[in-house]
Structures are given as C-alpha cells and as structure tokens.
Amino acid sequence: MAKKKQKTRALFRKNRSTRARQTDWTRRFEEHGFEEEDTLTGERLTGKGELTRRRTVRGSELDTGDEPGFDIYLEVDSAVCQSGRVLSMHGLASTVEAEDGRLFRCATRRLLKTLSTAQRHVVAAGDRVSFRVVENTDTNTNEGIIERVEPRRGSICRTSGGRQQIIVTNVDQVLIIASAAEPRLKPNLIDRLLITADKSRIRPVVCINKIDLVDPAVLQPLVGVYSQMGYSVLLLSAQSGFGIDRLRRALAGRENVVTGQSGVGKSSLLNAIDPSLDLRVASVSAETEKGRPTTSTARLLPLSCGGYVVDTPGIRQFQLWDVIAEEVAGFFRDLRPYVSHCRFPDCTHTHEAACAVKDAVADGRLDQRRYESYCHLRAGDFG
C-alpha cells in the first residue's frame, strides 16, 4: 500500500491571494450590465478560501533550530528535480551548480517566494537546493526553477530594513578581514561578527591585513585580547605576501566565507592565495580613506587548494539579527567567567554596585575596549 503523502498548513504573505473585494464594478456594468451574472442569494464570510493567508501544501514541518530557513519542508518530484548549490544571486535569478558541474540560471518558484518568513530573500549564496530544469530553445543558456531550499547550517546573517538578510549559508569557517590602516581598524565591527559566528556555530578567524603599513608591535594588544579568548588571529599582508601560506592552509578543504568592510583587501588576499580567481580590486580613496567596492554580490568560488570560499561585498554597517540585550553578555567569551559572581542575578554589568565584571575591568583583568563594546551592544546599539 502506497504511503500517504504528508500535508501541512503554511502561512503566506498578504499579497499571496487575490483582492478580497471587487473594485471594477463600473467597468463591468458598462460592458454587460451584470446581465450574464447570477444573482447572489447569500454571502458568507469565513476564514477559509481566498480570505485566509494559510494554505495546505505537500510537505512536512521542519525544526531548523536557530538556523534561518523555512518551517516547511516542501515535497518535490525527485524524478524531475535534481540537487544543486547556489553560487551567486543576481536580482531575482540565481546561478546554481548541478552535481555534474553544469551551471543553471534559475528563478524561484512562487510558492517559496510567498511563504511568510522574516527573510529578506528566500534564497542565498551557498544554499543547497532542489531545482527543475526548464527547456528553453530560444537561448543557449541552461535554465531552471528552484523548487525547494534544503535545511541550512552555518549562516552569516544581519538585520536589513527590519528583516533578516542572509549573506551566506552552509559554511563552516568565516574569515573576518580587517586592515591595520587605510581604512582604519574597527574592533567593534569585529566583535559583532564574532558574535554572529558564535551564534551560528561557525569557526571564526580574525585576519588583520596591511600590516606592512604599520609597526606590528602596535597590534599586539588587540591580537593578545582575541587570542586569549581562543580566537585564531592572523597578521597578513597581501602586498608583501606575509602570512599568505598560513592563510592558505587555514582555508584548504573547508567551506569558507570572507567578510569585512570595503577596502580591507578581501579580494586581494584571495588573489594572493589563488591567482586563478583573478578577482577585481581597487585602491582606497585618498580623500576619505574608504574602500571602493569591487564585489557587488556574494559569490561561491572553488579553491585550487581544496574547498570553497565565498567572496562577499564590503560591509558598511552590520546590525545583529535576533540578539536581545539580555543575552549579549553570553556571547562575550571574556565576560562569561565573571557574570555568575555579580551580587545581583539580573545584573546588566553597566551601573550596578558589586558587579564582578566592572571590578575585573578596574583591576585590568578585562580589556576596557571590549567592555565598552559590550556596553554599546547592551544599550541596544546593534548596528
């Protein structure tokens, strides 16, 4: 006996249904005067049909934990669909690599796009998807339609316009690129990216580029603070080649993503690791000391040393997603050992008396800059 297909109720966005009320009465009357229409003998308003945002779809409920995704695991026809991975996004279209290496330009099925979700885009670079090939004799390009997004892991996401923007997903290591100078080093941005990495259970590696522009001894206090917390820190120079071999070994065989503000040298470092990538680079503006963006969209690139790397656009602002003030202290590894020693169990570590965290800062056991970064986040400054 065939197994009964699972069905579940899914919530859609408001624009999924047609208009609830007819608004073209004048045009319809001028055309035929309603003579061809049957007279309505009654009207009933319920929460069913076109008046509800819920629909029954073929699939099953899925528990994705803390990972961004869909609560519904849609059912697809395995006979016509094949597996692939999203390499990049271009507007509403995605470039998907099939298991045999062929590239397809894919649209997203309407059912996925209209599911009610907090995500800004339903498909992101790095997604593993099931897609259906579409025959198109007018062009020579391979085309398809994404039918289902597989469960995600290891996602880097931020808040954008009050919604969740997934920069990349299905990675196991994030390289947080900063520059020693031109543009200036922003430790608070590093702190936010470290929180996102820890929250998504991704291994972070702090990379400080352009050390040839400063005295490396100036960076030792910052390097020491992150190293004491167990984070891997690499000092690099794409210009001189310092530390490139070590960075190449850290990337080999992993699924990586590089992130950081514009101008820090993300693309330059990737070109130094693998010259075959031939990524476009640009110099930093002499007037503003800010980078000129050269990467417009996240792209998943294979490495000659094994594994993948996702080159992402420069970040001007990184606002944390799904982090409340009360849990910020739990994401600061250096604050955690002192939290339980405070006098008050609900201590915010900002103004209370007998606070073990503030005492540790005063005694020099906690870095003052890290504590100030915590206070900004605790006050709700997640951007």
**Could you report the per-residue pLDDT of 172-195, keeping only the tens digit for each?**
999 999 999 888 899 999 999 999
Q: Mind listing the pLDDT tens digit for each residue in 120-142?
A: 788 999 999 999 998 876 667 78
Instruction: Give yes or no for a contact between 273 and 244, defined as CB atoms under 8 angstroms apart.
Output: yes
Q: Give ranges for CATH 1.10.40.50 in the chain.
A: 325-378
Total residue count of the chain as it appears in this document: 383
Q: Which part of the chain has CATH 2.40.50.140? A: 1-18+52-152
Q: What is the CATH number of domain 325-378?
A: 1.10.40.50
For domain 156-311, the CATH class is alpha beta
210, exposed or middle or buried, with CB in 10 Å at 0-12, 13-18, 19+? Answer: buried
pLDDT of residue 37: 55
Q: Is the pLDDT of residue 71 over 70?
A: no
The span from the CA of 276 to the CA of 265, in Å, is: 17
Residue range(s) in the chain whose domain bears CATH number 3.40.50.300: 156-311
Average pLDDT over residues 63-71: 66
Which of 164, 86, 165 lies closest to 126, judged by CA?
A: 86
Taking residues 52-67, report their average pLDDT.
Answer: 63
Q: Which pTM does this prediction carry?
A: 0.81
Give the architecture-level CATH label for domain 1-18+52-152.
Answer: Beta Barrel (2.40)
pLDDT at 56: 65
